[in-house]
């Protein structure tokens, strides 16, 4: 395992993060405590130090497990958790991005993990109601209190994150250093604005959903009748065809489709720290095998061609030859961008 700087910060995180939504059996399909510990141990043995949780994962069990697993060397690990999602469907303030929920959620997370601080606090999902200034000032207060070290935005529109960075910098508040969102060969929508924003603002991206709930591993291509674990939408014909393409590449080089799918994301030209999860020790071992090789330029190109993206306006407009000619004349290809 190698390490990367976490966006515009000096924090060193492993090039893969361990996702823990499977830690605990409260939702009916996760891993037992013993199996979760084995998954954690294999990740650490590979050099991993970055663990990603959320306060709602398996009703808080994931935080409890991780707190126990890191307790013997708490300072070694970079532990990230999230707040936002409702803990009481009858209470309008039990969820959301506002300060009350943020503070109460962090305090509860610290108790569950039996720790004095979290390394990274994510806003989990944008609620569309809370002023971004309220979020940022509450973030800053938690950082100044020592209960949080760094902050980031997960599942939030690019324009909101951009606004947050600008406001934080202008007011001397804690600056977000990362963003998190779904990204996979089957879903490249982040390339429209989130990834260019992250590059421009020096934000790390921690993508989730690289295997599309297991669809890209090929497990559903056998028509077993098994339903996709996440969400209500069934796997599409397009996704199943992509799974076949991934399997062809995997068979060609003696790797697994999961490793190919992860490496396609891992090798994109952005600051990306993929989140890998597992329900079994065998799955995490297989996923970690992605570190043992890299896809060739031809393989990356072939996979991308199998799942093209329509960038849409404004990128498709501004990056067209015609518009570049209007802006730069005949000099565009003579300019070395920074």
Q: For the segment 298-316, what is each residue's pLDDT rounded down to a tens digit?
A: 999 999 999 999 999 999 9
> Does one domain contain both 57 and 108?
yes
Nearest to 184, CA basis, from 213, 220, 156: 213
Same domain, 318 and 264: no
Q: CATH number for the domain including 99?
A: 3.20.20.100
State pLDDT tens for residues 213-246: 999 999 888 765 565 555 556 788 899 999 999 9
Q: Which of 3, 57, 83, 332 is catalytic?
A: 57
For residues 183 and 324, state if they share a domain.
no
Verify that 232 and 97 share a domain, yes or no. Answer: yes
Tell me, yes or no, whether 292 and 322 share the same domain. Answer: no
Q: What is the mean pLDDT of the chain?
A: 95
| Tally of CB atoms within 10 A around 254 | 7
CA 298 to chain centre: 26
CA distance 39 to 44: 9
Clarify whether residues 150 and 252 are in a common domain.
Answer: yes
The parent domain of residue 8 ranges over 3-307
57 part of the active site: yes
Whether the Cβ atoms of residue 287 and residue 263 lie closer than 8 Å to each other: no
Tens digit of pLDDT for each residue in 174-195? 999 999 999 999 999 999 999 9
Which residues make Cβ contacts (< 8 Å) with residue 22, sequence separation at least 6?
29, 30, 31, 36, 39, 277, 278, 279
Buried b (16+ CB within 10 A) or exposed e, 299-334: bbeebeebbeeebeeeeeeeeeeeeeeeeeeeeeee
Give the count of domains, the chain: 2
Using CA atoms, how far apart are residues 80 and 68, in angstroms rounded to an integer?
15
Based on the fold, state whether residues 32 and 161 are members of the same structural domain: yes
């Amino acid at each position: 395992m190698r390490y990367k700087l976490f966006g515009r910060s000096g924090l060193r995180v492993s090039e893969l993060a361990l996702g823990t939504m499977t830690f605990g059996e409260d939702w009916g399909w996760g891993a037992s405590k013993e199996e979760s510990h084995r998954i954690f141990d294999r990740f650490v043995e590979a050099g991993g130090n970055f663990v990603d949780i959320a306060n709602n994962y398996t009703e808080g069990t994931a935080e409890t497990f991780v707190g126990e697993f890191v307790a013997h060397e708490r300072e070694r690990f970079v532990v990230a958790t999230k707040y936002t999602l409702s803990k009481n469907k009858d209470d309008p303030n039990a969820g959301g991005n506002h300060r009350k929920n943020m503070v109460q959620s962090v305090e509860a997370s610290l108790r569950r993990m039996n720790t004095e601080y979290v390394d990274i606090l994510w806003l989990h999902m944008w609620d569309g109601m809370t002023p971004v200034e309220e979020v940022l000032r509450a973030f800053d207060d938690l950082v100044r209190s020592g209960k949080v070290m760094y902050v980031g935005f997960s599942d939030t529109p690019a324009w909101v994150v951009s606004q947050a960075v600008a406001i934080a910098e202008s007011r001397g508040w804690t600056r977000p250093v990362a963003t998190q969102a779904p990204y996979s060969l089957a879903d490249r929508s982040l390339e429209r604005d989130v990834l260019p924003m992250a590059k421009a603002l020096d934000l790390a991206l921690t993508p989730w959903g690289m295997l599309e709930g297991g669809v890209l591993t090929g497990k559903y291509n056998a028509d077993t009748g098994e339903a996709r674990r996440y969400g209500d939408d069934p796997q599409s014909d397009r996704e199943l065809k992509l799974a076949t393409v991934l399997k062809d590449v995997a068979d060609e080089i003696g790797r697994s489709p999961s490793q190919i799918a992860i490496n396609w994301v891992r090798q994109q030209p952005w600051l990306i720290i993929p989140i890998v999860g597992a329900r079994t020790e065998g799955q995490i071992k297989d996923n970690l095998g992605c570190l043992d090789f890299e896809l060739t330029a031809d393989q990356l190109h072939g996979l991308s061609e199998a799942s093209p993206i329509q960038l849409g306006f404004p990128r498709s407009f501004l990056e067209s030859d015609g518009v570049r000619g209007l802006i730069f004349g005949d000099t565009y290809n003579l300019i070395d961008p920074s």
